[in-house]
Amino acid sequence: MSRYSELESGQLASLLDELMEEYRAAKERKLNLNMSRGVPEKAQLDLSTRLLTAINAASSLSAEDGMDCRNYGALDGIPEARRLMAQMLELEPEQVFVGGNASLSLMHDCLTFAFLHGLPESPKPWAKEEKIKFICPVPGYDRHFAMTEHFGCELIAVPMTLEGPDIGAVTEAVKDPAVKGIWCVPKYSNPQGITYSDAVVRALAALSPAAPDFRIFWDNAYTVHALDMDHQDSLLNIMTALEKLGKQDRVFMFTSTSKVTFPGAGISAVGMSKANLDWFKGHKFYQTIGNDKINQLRHARFLPDMDSVMNHMRKHADIVRPKFQAVLDALAPLGEEGIAQWDVPRGGYFISLNVMPGCAKRVIQLCREAGVTLTPAGSTHPYGIDPEDKNIRIAPTSPPIEELHQAADLLCLCVRIASAEKLGGAAALAPAQVAYGDRN
Ligand SMILES: Cc1ncc(COP(=O)(O)O)c(C=O)c1O
């Protein structure tokens, strides 16, 4: 097949006829498939079932320091859980607070405390500022953007490059003292699956924002989620880079075991400088006496060190890698036809697909009408609006591989139809609802 842009209008019209014929046949099959959910499949969850027997009524329920995990205490977590999460964050256990079942809650806590009480070096609550702005690298994670939008922040989109956020745009944005933070998913990013380069990490560490209480929200959700465990990406440690510059208070680092063990029933962590941790715990004190230490204990016994985490993640990778490959193989001809572009992810949970500008909503609508659910168009952008209407987030992990083949083929057909319509000007695009939708 030649490139769509080289086809004459008559050729495009007959191509569109053929594609629509195929589409009608696909619709007859009454598919009901879903590529919108960035969640593990059952076989991945099965890998962690032993977590449930890692402790039982016959086990010692004392933490390493002798604390009885059945009782109140240890606001910042039991020693073995702090050590495990510190290894995931590449920090010292003393720098880590182990939270509950969701790192998003810890991010929300940091924002809540900043809005209500200000940061250690600048006690003016953010809520008392006229305006707070947050930098959102796009494409990015919809729940990050939605969280800061919910706090009333103005969201500033900066483009992602293949090395991380566009540092020129970030440097420009932080000249505004209302800009108080940036969202980062530095390793196997959501949705592109890429890792920030050393140069980008160093440049982020070296920023001189006008806001003295600027914070980097460093969400390392996919730190151990390589697709090929024999060729893992390495990410420069931003805390070390910041410490060298005496700017260690600049970052909040998050991770969790959500996609290591059980999403929604794992353990989370935030890592910070001492000043930040004292601030965080000082406010957390009023919220809880402590998190679920029984869950911390069984996680620490199930995954006692990084070797066990990596062995476990190798099993995850073996399950999800063929699924990513199935989608990438299906997409390949679209590249040759000049109607789509994507980044080959090296880890994480998603593939970020760019179709021709103005086509993403139409592709998603066509897929939906033929029984394949995709994440709503725009969800990778602030306010759920992709100004170019071109980005689609594909989540290949959850459907069984046979269904994934069918879903990916249908997606490709819909991309072809939308592109042929666009180039031939055939169909007026029906307005589609933009919503944050099915977020993971
Ligand atoms: C980048 C990123 N951060 C955080 C989360 C959610 O993490 P948790 O379950 O720890 O709240 C997700 C889930 O998809 C994610 O993609």
pLDDT 10s digits, 155-193: 999 999 999 999 999 999 999 999 999 999 999 999 999
Nearest to 76 by CA among 218, 309, 278: 278
Ligand 1 center–CA 122 separation, angstroms: 29
429 lines ligand 1 (CB under 6 A): no
The CA distance from 65 to 83, in Å, is 13
Distance from residue 97's CA to the centre of ligand 1 (Å): 17
Give the span between the Cα atoms of 389 and 394, in whole angstroms: 15
Distance 73 CA to ligand 1 centre (A): 26
What confidence score (pLDDT) does residue 436 get?
A: 33
Query: Using a 6 Å cutoff on CB, does residue 257 contact ligand 1?
Result: no
pLDDT at 439: 37
- Any atom of ligand 1 within 6 Å of the Cβ of 139: no
- Site to probe by mutation for ligand 1, drawn from 36, 88, 104 as the one with most ligand atoms within 8 Å of Cβ, is 104
User: What tokens does 300 get?
Assistant: 């620490």
Q: Please tell me if the CB atom of residue 88 comes closer than 6 angstroms to any atom of ligand 1.
A: no
Residue 125 confidence (pLDDT): 98
The pLDDT value recorded for residue 424 is: 86
Q: Torsion angle of alpha carbons 294, 300, 301, 304, nearest 10°?
A: 180
- The residue whose CB lies within 8 Å of the most ligand 1 atoms, and thus the one to mutate among 101, 143, 394, is 143
Helix (H, G, I), strand (E, B) or coil at 52: helix
CA-CA distances (angstroms) from residue 106 to 76, 97, 119, 295? 12, 9, 15, 17
Ligand 1 binding pocket includes 268 (Cβ within 6 Å) = yes
Query: Residue 440: CB within 6 Å of ligand 1?
Result: yes
- Threshold 0.85, pTM exceeds: yes
Ligand 1 within 6 A of 185 CB? Answer: yes
Going from N- to C-terminal start, the domains of the chain cover: 4-44+311-424, 62-304
State residue 432's pLDDT score. 35
Instruction: Report the chain's terminal Cα–Cα distance, integer Å.
Output: 36
pLDDT tens readout for residues 321-330: 999 999 999 9
Q: Is the dihedral of CA 389, 391, 397, 401 positive or negative?
A: positive
Q: Please identify which residue in the block is written with the tokens 């182990």.
A: 98
* Domain 4-44+311-424 architecture: Alpha-Beta Complex (3.90)
Ligand 1 centroid, distance to 161 Cα (angstroms): 21
Between the CA of 221 and the centroid of ligand 1 the distance, in Å, is 6
Task: Judge if the beta carbon of residue 38 lies within 6 A of ligand 1.
Answer: yes
Residues 6+ apart with CB under 8 A from 326: 396, 401, 404, 405, 408
Can you tell me whether residue 415 is helix, strand or coil?
helix
- Residues 176/181/184/190 CA torsion (nearest 10 deg): -90
Instruction: Mark the ranges of the chain whose per-residue pLDDT is less than 50.
Output: 427-440
Q: Does domain 62-304 have CATH number 1.10.3260.10?
A: no
* Residue-level pLDDT at 2: 79
Which one, of 27, 68, 88, 95, lies nearest residue 293 by Cα?
68
CA 193–ligand 1 middle distance (angstroms): 14
For position 89, what pLDDT does the model report? 98
Going from the Cα of 348 to the center of ligand 1, the distance in angstroms, rounded, reads 11
Cα separation, 269 vs 229, whole angstroms: 23
pLDDT of residue 425: 52
User: Which residues in 266-350 belong to E strands, given as ranges?
Assistant: 268-271, 340-342
Tokens read off for 207: 């920023």
> Is the C-beta atom of 102 inside 6 A of ligand 1?
yes
261, with CB counted inside 10 A (0-12, 13-18, 19+), is: buried
Which residue's C-alpha comes closest to atom 6 of ligand 1?
A: 104
SS3 218: strand
> Using CA atoms, how far apart are residues 226 and 56, in angstroms rounded to an integer?
32
pLDDT for residue 1: 67
